[in-house]
Amino acid sequence: MTAEIWVLGDHRVGNTNQAIALAQELGLEYEVKDIKYNFLSKLPNFFLQFNPLHITDEVLKTFKNTLFPKIIISSGRRTAPLALYLKEKSGNKLKVVQIMRPDIDSKNFDLLVLPQHDNVNQLNSNIIRIIGALSNSGTKILNGALELDKNYPEAKNFIAVLVGGDTKNHKFTEFNSTLLANTLSTITNNHSCPLFFSFTRRTPEVTKSIIRNMFPWPHIIYDPTTDENRPNPYYGMLGRAEFIICTGDSVSMCSEVASTGKPFYIYCPQDFKIIEKHRFFIQQLVDIGVAKKLESNVSLLEDYSYPPLNEVMKVADFIKAELLDKA
C-alpha cells in the first residue's frame, strides 16, 4: 500500500523541509522519496519540461510498476519535472503541488505555492502566495523546549541569537560580525538575561571568534561544527527564549521565528549583500508587525507580541478544500 503523499526530497534541505512541513500539516500518510541527480541537473527546466533526464536511472527505476499516491509535493526547480512526469505516468490522476518557482508553465501544476518575495506577475487560480517559507515547527518547538530544559539546564531567561553566515550571494564579513557583536553587547547591558547563541554550518570562523571573545560565560554558545555530541538546541531556543534575534540571510530561520509569536529582531544592515527578494521579505515582516530591525542604535529590546505566522496551515486548508475534497 503506497502512502497518500509523496514528498520529492533532495540535497537542498530547506526545500525538502518545506515539502515535509506541508505533508505533515495535511495529516495524511506521507513518504519522502530521496531524489538524486546526474550531470544534466544544471539544464534549465525549459529543456526538461516533463522529461526528467536529470534524474539518475536508479531513482527512476524505483517509480516503475508502482502504485501512485493522491498527491506529490515537489519543492524547488529540480524536482518539478519529475513530479510532472509521474503525474503523466499516473494517467493524470494524482495532484502535483509545487513549492517555489518551477520555471515551467504554472498551468501544468494543480497548485503552485510561491513566496510573495518572488517577483511573479501571475494571478492564476492555481497559484497561492505565502509570506516567507513554509514551516510546521510547532511540535518541534514544544519538544525542543522540553529537551532544552534537560540538556541545557543553565539556559534560563535568555535572549536567543541565531547566527547564519555566508551564502551564495553574500559574505558575512568581519565588519558585519563586529557590528552585530557590539550591538548585542549594548543590549546585554540593559537586559538582565544572558545571550544564547546558535551558529550554523555557514557561520564564518571570524564571526565565531568575535562572538566567543566578547561573550564568555554566562552567555551560551552552540556550534554544530564542534559540538556534534551535544543536542542541537535550536527548536528549544525558539520555545524558551524571552526575545529572538536572527540574522537576515536565512528565509527559513526567519520564517520559523515568525511562527513563535515572540519578540523578533532581524539583523540585516544596509551593506548586507543579500539578494533583493530576501530584503523584501524582511521588510514585509517588519511592515506587518511581526519583526523589528536590529539597528546599531538599538539598546533595549521591546517586549511585544503578534499573531504567529502560519502559512502552512493556509496552504493545507486550500489543498483540502480545492484538491482533496474535489478529487
Clarify whether residues 265 and 154 are in a common domain. yes
Q: Within a domain: residue 240?
A: yes
Helices 174-190/205-214 angle, 10° precision: 30
Confidence (pLDDT) at 1: 64
pLDDT (0 to 100) of residue 121: 61
The CA distance from 318 to 26, in Å, is: 10
148 and 242 part of one domain: yes
Amino acid at 273: K
Under a CB-based contact definition with an 8 Å cutoff, are residues 148 and 239 in contact? yes
Which cell goes with 135?
514551516
Q: Decide if 306 is inside a domain.
A: no
The pLDDT of residue 117:
82
> Diameter of the chain by CA atoms?
65
Domain containing residue 35: CATH number: 3.40.50
Q: How many CA atoms lie within 13 A of 27 on its CB side?
A: 6
Contact 89, 9 (CB under 8 A): no
Q: 99 with 150, same domain?
A: no
- The answer to whether residues 44 and 65 belong to one domain is yes
Instruction: Please report, for residues 43, 59, 89, 200, 320, the alpha-carbon distance to residue 68 in angstroms, rounded to integers and kept in the order given.
Output: 27, 15, 9, 37, 19
Q: What is the pLDDT along the chain (327 residues), one digit of tens a residue?
A: 678 999 999 999 889 999 999 999 999 999 999 999 999 888 888 788 888 999 999 999 999 888 999 999 999 999 999 999 999 999 999 999 999 999 898 899 999 999 988 766 666 789 999 999 999 888 899 999 999 999 999 998 999 999 999 887 788 899 999 999 999 999 999 998 999 999 999 999 999 999 999 999 999 999 999 998 899 999 999 999 999 999 998 899 999 999 999 999 999 988 776 777 888 999 999 999 999 999 999 999 999 999 999 999 999 999 999 998 765
The residue assigned the cell 557590539 is 182
Q: Report the side by side order of strands in the sheet with 30-34.
A: 30-34, 5-9, 71-75, 95-99, 111-115, 127-130
pTM assigned to the model: 0.90
- State whether 147 and 206 are in the same domain: yes
Q: What is d(CA 258, CA 260) in angstroms, rounded to the nearest whole number? A: 5
- The three-state secondary structure class of 22 is helix
Contacts of 6 (CB under 8 A, 6+ apart): 30, 31, 32, 33, 69, 71, 72, 73, 86
Sequence letter at residue 321 = A
Here the cell at position 182 is 557590539
Same-domain pairing of 181 and 124: no
The dihedral sign for the CA sequence 149, 152, 157, 158: negative
Together in a domain, 122 and 251 = no
Q: Are 44 and 190 in a shared domain?
A: no
What is residue 122's predicted lDDT score, i.e. its pLDDT?
A: 61
Place of cell 507580541: 305
Residue 157 and residue 251 in one domain: yes
Residue 203 lies in a domain: yes
Task: Write the DSSP assignment of 144-162 as a string of letters.
Answer: HHHHHHHH-TT--S-EEEE
Q: Which of 64, 74, 67, 136 is nearest to 101 (CA)?
A: 74
- In DSSP terms, 160 is beta-bridged to 196, 244
Residue 10 phi, psi (nearest 5): -135, -165
Specify the CATH number for the domain of residue 218: 3.40.50.2000
Sheet bearing 159-163, strands edge to edge: 220-222, 195-199, 159-163, 243-247, 264-267, 292-293
φ/ψ bin of 92: left (φ > 0), alpha (ψ from -120 to 50), beta (otherwise): left
Number of domains in the chain: 2
Residues 118 and 191 placed together within one structural domain of the fold: no
Let me know if residue 93 belongs to a domain.
Answer: yes
Residue 303 lies in a domain: no
The boundaries of the domain holding residue 203 are 138-293
The answer to whether position 246 is within a domain reads: yes
User: Is residue 23 domain-resident?
Assistant: yes
Q: Are residue 44 and residue 144 in the same domain, yes or no?
A: no
User: Is 300 part of a structural domain of the chain?
Assistant: no
Terminal-residue alpha carbon distance, the chain: 19
Note the pLDDT of residue 125.
Answer: 81
199 and 218 in a single domain? The answer is yes
What does the block give as the cell for 303? 517586549
H/E run at residue 112: strand 111-115
